[in-house]
Structure 1
């Protein structure tokens, strides 16, 4: 069955099912109505019998009272005779109302006559009794007239009862038949509903199963896409490093050659090398930028900046190129435009540079202008309109809708004549949208183009004067200032490790030893990334991230560092506002990858030196040097320093743990055990010492027994001292 036709089959089955359901329902309802009507008729017949019985009873009671009065000559018996006669008339009237039809018309006429005669006779007997006395009344009673009237009335009532009994029998039969039919149709309706529900359930179940299969396939596809994205990002990162480095060398040497005495031919070759290198570097940058945007690695980082400073920098950048093409480059702003703004100055510069570069590239004569106007302002919020206008080749209206697509230029000949990747405007559009702005283009072929970009900002504050630069940002000299990292770590061995790893990639960093210092440092200076240890004295990492996000409202990327191996620890860190989680012992490549991902910047080359290093065999020792050698990358001096630090710090950490156990200080036990885990992880002691440290790190009042803790510490100390002896042997 074709998938496109299945809906029509399902619709047909649904309509047939609905028709059957309606037919079943109509028949069931019809029989139920007949059953109800029969019940009503049966009730009516029972009411007739009841009225006939009441009439007979009332007449018998009246006759009894009349006879009792005459025989006993006691007028008390006659009390209420008028009301009894009225009741007889009322009963007769009710019988006439509910029984009258063609078959009973004659009987009712006779009954009415006889009952009136009977009532008249009783009244006559009473009148005779009062006027002529007992004997005259008895004589009137004994003349059999009253008896004949009573018998006649009884006979007619019996005939009426017989007639109604046949109606009762017919009605009862009708009720039984209707009930059986209603039961049958109801059973059919229930069976049909159950069958329909079963079929619907089976169909829905099959569709749900298929949907679950599709979801699994989609999840697998997404996972594969994620893996491919990681591979692509890694490739682009490698390409950035592997291509940009030689390209910078090529451009650098080309620039040096330009300053050397050259003949005209050699200078032409050097200029060609420089131009081609610049174009290639621009293409590489475009590809990397669009990849960052699409992978979500491009982040908006607001800060206060001077708009006039940005415009002046753009002007200085493109003025030589404009003069080379004999173009007039103009930069103007309206008076209402504020100078100090708060926003992402890097992305604004990138947008203006791309648009201005395109304008100069596609303009052979005339003017390229950049104008800034204020389109809206409310309090501290302001929207600025940036207009980049040129008198170049222009864009056909039919092509204007696609110029923002990737790898697309207005004409096929444009790429051959002017070069480029067709990514510039795509990058501009996505950067503008990342900042919640919009971009539009107005152009006519041969008359030039006008690109309008509107971006939202808030009014900024001029940078405050700082007291001591050394106190504000004591970064290591001679390193790259492009990436600035704040490290919050109280363990000295971990501090030495991070110094080594960050210095190897020429990264600027500052190390603080507790959470309070980290918060103060972030208030005083701007950093690209915070490496935050979770377990620190006084103010721990959890408190730092909460105060950072809720009180300081900082969006700085935060990577948690912890030796915790508990399930859910990563989720807890991310839930509190951290961006990522890295477990100790720290792996160099994982750290470098996270720094690159969350700063959005490429790292410098590894300057650690020789990558070839020999591995120290375990030879049955507790200590394993593999991890330390991986970190050192062949730097024996770093290995010696870390071993010396281990020998010095381990006894100190053991002393703190012993003191805490002796004092039953549970927080102190947990902190000391955590520090020891970090200390011993550098030289591969996890398998030997973690079984003793893990229970102590998570000890609670319920499970703490001082004697057991002391016994565990004794075993731990014995192994630790053996590890210290081995470390000392490695130093010899």
Structure 2
């Protein structure tokens, strides 16, 4: 065969290989993709064998070895997915029973032990999720979507989540979005969030003080397309130059003691790089030991249409105040694992639900036909009965009352194939184990037969999952006792306190202009008694720090602490007013 024809044939072969890979990734299930790729590899090896005419058996042996290696890697990933499911199932019980235990009347020592169980369990869950995530992405099983989304809102939510991770550290969290960055783009918002949270989470982990900054630029724009550049810079511990090339390798961390000191699997950056490359982007790192790190990545996007975006903020809430909306609801539970079944029955019973559990398919159908069951919770991967099959039988039943009952599936793992099958059968929603009590209640309220009105539902979403900042917490109960229960006297004292706070703000604003720390210290000393009076211990500590910094002649420190005060005090005052309003109504 001529050289030109050989090059042409090999070029077409390479193009065909790319097309096969793209088709496998976009259109096929994981199993079908493996079969297609295996057939193509055999064809390619045979063709190359004829072209190059090597020594007998050389290429064939190479192809067989490559095929064996690929099969071994596939088996390993399947093993990881299976083990992940097996671990998540008992972990669901541990986290669930710890949640229940935390609601009991425990001593402070017992609460600390429950908190330790919850922390360890959630850490283990995070590690399992990370390993499974890597397995899915690297094997092409992970699903990538293309939808219009609000980039600016996504960035705001990501920074909000990162802010909650910064505890007891003087870290400034900054974000800068260039004016030419489009608000609405078309792509996969969840994968972009995952990449940003991985990178920002790394910065939070390795920065003790200084700043973390996210910058976003539009590097190119053409025919309704753009290339966005994201940069995450920090003042953390940094990475040695010789380690940067290996940092993206799986299970690799810059230093041997990083895992023991900071935790993690060493997969975070590997997953990040895999996602970015799947999205046809690139990533690079620039870092200096003890100075900081800058990670930059670029991704191509189509500019989206500014339509159909909800203005409702999707922040995490703890809706346990909605228990009265579940009282009397009938829930049927298909769950073969006895411990998980006991857990979910206790959770639902505590909320006032009537629960039908430990039922066979025949018993379940009888109950569905004769009772007013509001919702079915269906474990998809039961060892004794297949949740998909049970759901299919319910959905195809001749009795309309039975087949119209809402079904919520739950399982310790959930693949794209599962998602398609759920939609085909007519399953209404899905819960991934381990789920929080908030997830369980929200999903039931959203899907049960007697739907909760939107106004009622939103009214119960009031208490944030994230604990309020220490400097914004108040407690007027002790002050009311000191007032001998006289609410009028309490109102007057709170009014006086607010006037003192206004006076403090005015004094500090004036005296900071001339760096008169002596006067600021006097104002702080006067106000700290007021915060002690209303049991605002967090804010009192801040005021004490301001006073101490004044006496130590630390002007910049005083300015820094005062900025925190200006941000947190309005929130504290709102909490103070809200608590006082409740007391006045009693």
TM over 0.5: no
Larger helix proportion of the pair: 1
Compute the TM-score of the two structures, normalised by the length of structure 1.
0.36
Q: Which has the larger radius of gyration?
A: 1
RCO greater where, 1 or 2, for CA within 8 Å and sep 6 or more? 2
Compute the TM-score of the two structures, normalised by the length of structure 2.
0.44
